[in-house]
Amino acid sequence: MYYTAESAHGSETSHGFCNDTVVKCFSSRSARDDYVKSTKNITVEAIPASMATKRATNYSLTMNKTNAPTPFSNEFWAIVPPYDDDETPGLVGILDTAREDDHIVRRFYK
């Protein structure tokens, strides 16, 4: 699995916000590298697996909490299906917190 990190509000002219990072998971290195080269979002960068959960942990002002699994709960890091309108070649899913009853692609282990 190969990863990218990008601002959810980034574009070809804006860096977006510092606390809205989306980590996308790709099936192959070439698919990830093609996405990094072809996207117009200037915040997209390839990252190693060791940085995936660090970059996906964002502080949400609206929910007043950090997006990370809550200790001693049934939450865990998982790769969830991509958004319906995202047809990026080679994209497997997005790294996010999940629970046992959520639809996930697979669990993510550090």
Can you give the residue ranges of every domain in the chain?
Answer: 2-107
pLDDT in tens, 9-60: 788 888 777 677 889 999 999 999 999 999 999 999 999 999 999 888 776 6
What percentage of the chain reaches a pLDDT higher than 90?
42
pLDDT of residue 64: 66
User: What is the value of pTM for the model shown?
Assistant: 0.84
The CA distance from 95 to 82, in Å, is 9
| Three-state secondary structure of the chain | CEEEEEECCCCCCCCCCCCCEEEEEECCHHHHHHHHHHCCCCCCEEECHHHHHHHHCCEECCCCEECCCCCCCCCEEEEECCCCCCCCCCEEEEEEEECCCCCCCEECCC
